[in-house]
Structure 1
Amino acid sequence: MKKLLLVLTLSFLSLPQLMAQGVEITPFTGYTFQAGFNISGGRAFLRDGQTWGGMMGFSLNEATEVELGYSYMGTSAVARSNSLQENIDIPAQVHYATIGANRLFPTSDKMTFFAGGKLGTGTVAFPDGEYRNITKFAVGFQGGMKYYASDRVGIRLQANLMMPIVGVGTSLWWSPGSGTAVGLSGWSPIAQFGFTGGLVFRLQQ
């Protein structure tokens, strides 16, 4: 976490230099598929749902951009296990705050393909307050395309894979701090896959 804060601090200190190269702001929405994984004696899920968020990209050169991003998803957290007295199905929110980089593959003045990675934090929050919020280190990957209708406005379509990193035996929303602790049965990050689309606004170029 300290390393992540250092990276974010250095990024903000570098904003004047990055803005001189070019800035893009992209509000987006999309769809994230259900993510399921094994727990002791059963399975747990984050259900599918709509995703909202925004990105700010800074061009370093014609082939590379640095990107800050945030996304939000309203969902349900489900856990079913032989070790639990009853199944759990509660409202939840998933938040990601990330910093990353994309490799750009321009094919013309209007069309650019890209692929990249990012790191940051993933938080599963519970608006009802029945369970404690959980924040984990997260990594992600994305790939897609941008099409510019003009010098200032375009569209962006991409596929996303986000993975909060959790370890063997970890207990998340299904263990509220008392009773039987039901942990992950293997070392497998929660993998959330989805698609997003948004409008690109170029502030400088």
Structure 2
Amino acid sequence: MKKLFCVLAILCLFSLEGFSQDVRLNVYGSYVFADKFDSYWDVGNNYYYEGRIEDGFQWGGGIEYVVNDMIGVEVLYLRQDTNSPTRYSYSGFVDRRTNFDLGINYILVAPSRYFKAPSGNLEGFFGVMAGVVIADLYNPDNGNENNATKMAWGVKGGGIMWGSERVGLKVQAQLLSAVQSVGGGFYFGTGGAGAGVNSYSSIYQFSLGGGLVFKLN
């Protein structure tokens, strides 16, 4: 799934290259707020997990083709290293608590609509995002590692202040989420010997930040 998405994203960008007005390199840094999650999938046996994804710093970058004055299409990567204190119970593991190490990777395609100010130094934008989230989870209690890939979506909005013809400062708000309904939600490998919890629990990550924009052509 990851490989197919990356190939489609690259083909999409190359197909737009001949029509692009600008090619931009975007470098991102944002503060991501914490988010709670829970799942109670077997009430009779008291199987559940609940916890939170801690807040932290998210970084990344992307290549954007601005097709015309109003439309841009970006392929971007975002990364957050954080922790997830989680309480869970299932199959002999009763009311366990673990502070997981969690790495969250987003690979997204993001079309945006731009709105230029009359002065020409300011640009507003609003965009949507779609792609995949890749979660790398480590359990410090037993040394187990696991990862999962899910579909992801998001929205963003903000503005760019151009300090020169080639360099601008971007400020934006952003919401990213893993899709719950496709093959389960977020995955937490909490047990040992191949056991784990794989149930429905979406995550919603809201962030504030921005970065720098460089025109490459």
User: Normalization by structure 2: what TM-score?
Assistant: 0.81
Structure 1 residue aligned with 2:44: none
SS at match of 2:131: strand
Q: Does 1:198 align with 2:211?
A: yes
SS at match of 2:188: coil
Mapping for residues 138-149 of structure 1, pairs under 5 Å: 138-149=152-163
Kept after mapping to 1: 8 A contact 2:184/2:201? no
Structure 1 residue aligned with 2:23: 23
- Paired residue total: 201
Structure 2 residue aligned with 1:134: 148
> Offset of 1:124 from its aligned partner?
1.1
Which one of 62, 67, 72 corresponds to residue 74 of structure 2? 67
Mapping for residues 1-12 of structure 1, pairs under 5 Å: 1=1, 4-5=5-6, 7-12=8-13
Identity of aligned residues (%): 28
Change (3 A) 1:62 1:38: same
Kept after mapping to 2: 8 A contact 1:79/1:174? no
Task: Considering Cα pairs closer than 8 Å and 6+ residues apart, tell me whether 1 or 2 has the greater RCO.
Answer: 1
Q: Matches of 1:60 and 1:200 in 2, distance apart?
A: 16
Bigger share in strand: 2
Q: Matches of 1:147 and 1:96 in 2, distance apart?
A: 26
Q: Matches of 1:35 and 1:80 in 2, distance apart?
A: 15
Q: Does 1:120 align with 2:131?
A: yes
Structure 2 residue aligned with 1:98: 108
> Offset of 1:71 from its aligned partner?
0.7
SS at match of 1:90: strand
Q: Matches of 1:4 and 1:180 in 2, distance apart?
A: 29
Kept after mapping to 1: 8 A contact 2:186/2:202? no
> Offset of 1:88 from its aligned partner?
1.7
Kept after mapping to 2: 8 A contact 1:131/1:173? no
Q: Which runs of 5+ in 2 are unaligned?
A: 41-47
Q: Which runs of 5+ in 1 are unaligned?
A: none
Q: Matches of 1:7 and 1:169 in 2, distance apart?
A: 24
Deviating more after overlay: 82-91 vs 43-52: 82-91
Q: Matches of 2:33 and 2:7 in 1, distance apart?
A: 32
Q: Matches of 1:54 and 1:136 in 2, distance apart?
A: 20
